């Protein structure tokens, strides 16, 4: 899976959570600036896990202190790439 494919899927998942069109989400967009709340973050993480068959390290009791960098679209893409590589590795 290429970085572009991962990015497109991450943006599609975030767009569903935010009720936006994927074209409205820039790759360098910050998650907080997009308006994704903690419940939306948790739901997006579950969707990422299902889509990419990975386990995202995330503590629901501390949603703003994740081991997985969930601050921007780019950081999520990098994190997914790393988790896919670890799983394959």
Domain span at residue 21 reads 3-88
pLDDT single digits (tens) 1-43: 999 999 999 999 999 999 999 999 999 999 999 999 889 988 9
Q: What is the pLDDT of residue 64?
A: 57
In the predicted structure, residue 80 carries a pLDDT above the cut 70: yes
Q: Quote the CA–CA distance of 21 and 11 in Å, as a whole number.
A: 9
Q: What is the pLDDT of residue 46?
A: 94
Residue 59 belongs to a domain with what CATH number? 1.10.1200.10
Query: What is the DSSP annotation of 5-65?
Result: HHHHHHHHHHHHHHT--GGGS-TT-BHHHHT--HHHHHHHHHHHHHHHT------TTSTTS
Encoded tokens for 27:
């790759």
Whether the Cβ atoms of residue 67 and residue 60 lie closer than 8 Å to each other: no
The structural domain count of the chain equals 1
């Amino acid at each position: 899976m290429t970085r572009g494919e991962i990015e497109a899927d991450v943006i599609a998942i975030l767009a569903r959570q935010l009720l936006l069109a994927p074209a409205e989400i820039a790759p360098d967009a910050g998650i907080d600036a997009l308006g994704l709340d903690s419940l939306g973050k948790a739901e997006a993480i579950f969707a990422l896990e299902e889509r990419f068959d990975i386990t995202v390290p995330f503590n629901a009791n501390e949603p703003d202190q994740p081991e997985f960098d969930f601050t921007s679209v780019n950081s999520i893409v990098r994190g997914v790439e790393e988790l896919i590589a670890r799983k394959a590795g």
